[in-house]
Amino acid sequence: MLGEEPVKTNIIVPNHPFRTLDAPLLRDDFYCSTLAYSTIAGTLAVGLAHRVYLWSEAFGVQHPPLDEQDPSNYVTSLSFSSDCGGKSILAIGRKSGMLSLWSTFDFDVRFEISHSDTITCVAFKQTKSRRLSEKFEGLEVDTEDLAIGDDLGNIWYYSVEWPVEEVRQRFRWNGAVTLLAKISAHTQQVCGIAWSPDGLYMATGGNDNVCLLFELHDIIPSRELGVSSNAYSPRQDCNPEDMEYQDSFSCFAANASRRLFNKRHLLGHLLPSLTAPRTRSLSAPLPSVFSQDGSIISKGERTAFIPSNRQKHKLVHSAAVKAIAFAPWQPSLLATGGGSNDRAIHFYHTPSGACLATINVYAQVTSLIWSRTRREIVATFGFAQPEHPFRIAVFAWPSCEQIAAIPWGPHGGSWDSPTDNTLVDCGRALCAVSYPGRLPSYLYETPEVLDEPSTATPAIRARLTGQDQTRPAQRLVERVVVKPRAKEGGLWCSRTVQEGCIIVASSDQSVKFHEVWSVSKGRKTSAAGPYGGSEILEGLEGLENPGPDIIH
């Protein structure tokens, strides 16, 4: 394992990133997670001090239409909404407690909500939910679930209804943000939040050295829980290439995205002068009815107030828990990573809370990302103790074998050759997100004129609800693989083209694109199933045979 004798392996991934973006003023803070990637828009969001910047293969560097902030009001966390929802909503959390919600397909920010304490973590659920519309009576619509963690350890659970541009313009209504629950979760700040792929669990990590597992039907009223709009299949991710295209990705939205990126290019664009942010305080009474320009809804019969110790399981660590990830192909398998005094990756069976395995990595674990196609997980590391140069490593599951490790050079730079100086600062990987390495493709369709809900035709109602059964099934066209330019490195291995890579925020104020998924066709798979060979746990899950290592 890391920090011990090097593991001999014929499986190699490049030590050098194939692309590096300068990120001046990137905050060197273990507790901040300032990267987010939207597969729908093909856009990377990066928080640099008090500003947010966007990067994409198609348009380069841009910035969203956010109000200018005081430099002290830095960005703490970013998250994009689900791919299945197709909205590409970016949630931006700040030190002041301000939450901003903006879609890459909009010209303006729809919602800004002020919390009384610093927002430390934001995380959209990666499956959409079906709920009754806050405006159109009797209509069930797609909504996004958003969890916000604050400096006091609270979790704020929101439902976000985000009407498409045609509906927004026709009815002069931005949508609604409804507070479903406020959970007294941790005794210190929230460091990480993750949702299970089947939408049943939420895991939260805190600076109080615990990871809490919540079963959603225990904390959200059944009338508000909603129904996940896509049945989970362990062999099929929520992939926009496989979903039928609905009203949420209209011709108007796609064109608006292009106009936004073309008109708001960072280079040569002067930011507006400092203005007071348009916010609404959650400490003040919030409207219980919606208005024409959108709503923030919170009232007794709608909001559940969950006291402490209502979690299903409390998973104790030896340091803060920031890195949390559910396996996309086995939603009851959870991986967590501890901070400086823990320095390990832990694996749990979520229904029982049983710890399945622990890998000592001798470093802060700052992020965990599961492979979508194989039983493998990649981890990124912060401060190492004892010092070692590895800042990225890949492990097999359930064997916990180290498959690959990527060392960093001095101050986070590239590793060119070994050094005898054990005190050299190799920098830190602050956080990471998955990058598919593909350009998004938009499906164009002609917008329809919407009538009033009371007189809307079945086709119009279907467009409002996202369940258009009267129109031919349409799918996103095949995406084009983006290969690095010659100056950015060599060709990607075949598995990188298939699965993508990871984007890592580095303490040297850069953002690095690393290949991590090695080609290992001949690697012998473990005979154990996804729960480390536990016949009891695998029996509870209905598993009889571990099956192939490659997940289709």
- What are the structural domain ranges in the chain? 1-29+320-441+476-521, 31-318
Q: Which candidate, 207, 73, 167, places its Cα nearest to that of 463?
A: 167
Q: For residue 78, give the H/E element and its range.
A: strand 75-80
**Residue 118 in tokens:** 């610093």
Backbone dihedral angles phi then psi of residue 412, each to the nearest 5 degrees: 85, 0
Instruction: Give the pLDDT of the chain (552 residues) as one tens digit per residue.
Output: 565 544 444 457 888 899 999 999 999 999 999 999 999 999 999 999 999 999 998 889 998 999 999 999 999 999 999 999 999 999 999 999 999 999 999 999 999 999 999 999 999 999 999 999 999 999 999 999 999 999 999 999 999 999 999 999 999 999 999 999 999 999 999 999 999 999 999 999 999 999 999 999 998 877 777 655 444 444 444 544 433 333 332 333 334 344 343 333 332 222 222 223 333 333 333 333 233 345 677 655 689 999 999 999 999 999 999 999 999 999 999 999 999 999 999 999 999 999 999 999 999 999 999 999 999 999 999 999 888 889 999 999 999 999 999 998 775 555 555 555 556 677 899 999 999 977 675 433 334 433 444 444 454 444 444 444 333 322 222 334 455 554 355 555 667 777 899 999 999 999 999 999 987 643 444 445 665 555 545 555 554 444 456 665
Q: Which CATH class is domain 31-318?
A: mainly beta
Specify the residue for token string 């093909």. 42
Q: 3-class DSSP state for residue 258? A: helix
Spatial separation of the C-alpha atoms in residues 188 and 167, rounded to whole Å:
41
The CA-atom distances, in angstroms, between 458 and each of 338, 428, 453, 455 are 52, 55, 10, 9
Backbone dihedral angles phi then psi of residue 247, each to the nearest 5 degrees: -65, -15
Spatial separation of the C-alpha atoms in residues 297 and 177, rounded to whole Å:
6
**Which DSSP symbol is given to 454?**
G
Q: 3-class DSSP state for residue 152? A: coil
Q: CB under 8 Å to 434, separation ≥6 — which residues?
A: 37, 369, 500, 501, 502, 503
Amino acid, res. 108? D
Q: Which candidate, 189, 191, 119, places its Cα nearest to that of 158?
A: 119
User: Burial letters for 102-131: b for 16+ Cβ neighbours within 10 Å, e otherwise?
Assistant: bbbbbeebbbbbbbebbbbbbbbbbbbbeb
**Which DSSP symbol is given to 463?**
H
Spatial separation of the C-alpha atoms in residues 416 and 424, rounded to whole Å:
14
CA angle 148, 227, 466 (to 5 degrees): 95
Spatial separation of the C-alpha atoms in residues 456 and 135, rounded to whole Å:
14
Q: Is 421 left (phi over 0), alpha (psi -120 to 50) or beta?
A: beta
CA angle 297, 36, 504 (to 5 degrees): 155
Q: 3-class DSSP state for residue 16? A: coil
